[in-house]
Amino acid sequence: MGACWAGCGACWAELAGPPPPKPSREKRWVWHGGLPMCSDDLAAGGLPSYVGMVKRDEVQLGSLTLQIETWPDYRIGSSVWPSGVLLAHALATGAAGLPAVCDLRVAELGAGPGLPGLVCGLLGALSVTLTDRTELVPLLDRNVELNGLSGACGAQALDWSWAHRSPLAAAGSSAVGPLDLLLAADVVYFEEQEPLLDAITALMAPGRTMLALAYRERTPMDRHYLNERILPRLDASRVDYEAPGHGSCEIYVGRLR
């Protein structure tokens, strides 16, 4: 059965119980993975009471094996998207141009199921904070549990527009110190350009925090936003990364200017 773009859940009513709440008035259409997707990710967050189909897959990345749960009918962010897989693969295999993550303090923006961040946990990162909207935190918690990473990884809700007031940003100016590495994959949307920039600048310490941003072009507007708004703020290099069976993406690695 294909994904229900309307988000009403009626097609799963007999299989997955009662339908979800009435759709939000703040729905919008965005292009993701080459397809038009209906998203209410801008609506007020909340813990999910209905997620539709639940999938669990074993993901092999280099020598690492992960168990990843996804909710493909719930939100755009509750599935694993191509650049996330490629960034996770690049980290897992020690691709040239990407940092070694052992003993680093890491966070992931718009983590969804959390694949790249979980890889960092398995590779010995000192700590990994997986962030997304409130309603996706239970999915992140589930994947942390499935991979036995409760000691290294944790999930936090993060509204990009208010990232400067988040516990993660506050930790940067405390004795804990700033992040060493910020991960982001499949997060570049022209509809959300200012919130994304707000989050990047709030969580990165200039000259200290490194950003690894994985990007695959969806629309010319997204490309323009990346080239004109994000990259000029960074002293970054581009890694063109490809993995058999997963396609390719661009990974930008660098620090704030």
Cα–Cα distance for residue pair 67/147, rounded to 1 Å: 6
Residue 191, SS3 per DSSP = helix
pLDDT at 26: 46
Dump pLDDT digits (tens) for 209-232. 999 999 999 889 999 999 999 999
Domains and their CATH numbers in the chain: 55-256 (3.40.50.150)
Cα–Cα distance for residue pair 115/128, rounded to 1 Å: 12
Average pLDDT, integer, range 182-208: 90
Confidence (pTM):
0.82
User: For 30-44, 49-63, 230-244, which range has the lowest pLDDT when averaged over its residues?
Assistant: 30-44
The pair of three-digit structure tokens given for residue 25, joined into one six-digit string: 């008035």
Mean pLDDT of the chain: 85
The pair of three-digit structure tokens given for residue 151, joined into one six-digit string: 């000691």
Dump pLDDT digits (tens) for 116-156. 999 999 999 999 999 999 999 999 999 999 999 999 999 99
Q: Residue 121, Cα to own-chain centre: how many angstroms? A: 15
Average pLDDT, integer, range 173-195: 87
Statement: residue 240 has pLDDT above 70: yes
DSSP type of residue 171: H
pLDDT at 189: 83
pLDDT at 47: 58
Cα–Cα distance for residue pair 233/230, rounded to 1 Å: 6
- In degrees rounded to 5, what are phi and psi of residue 8? -80, -25
Statement: residue 176 has pLDDT above 90: no
Cα–Cα distance for residue pair 72/202, rounded to 1 Å: 30
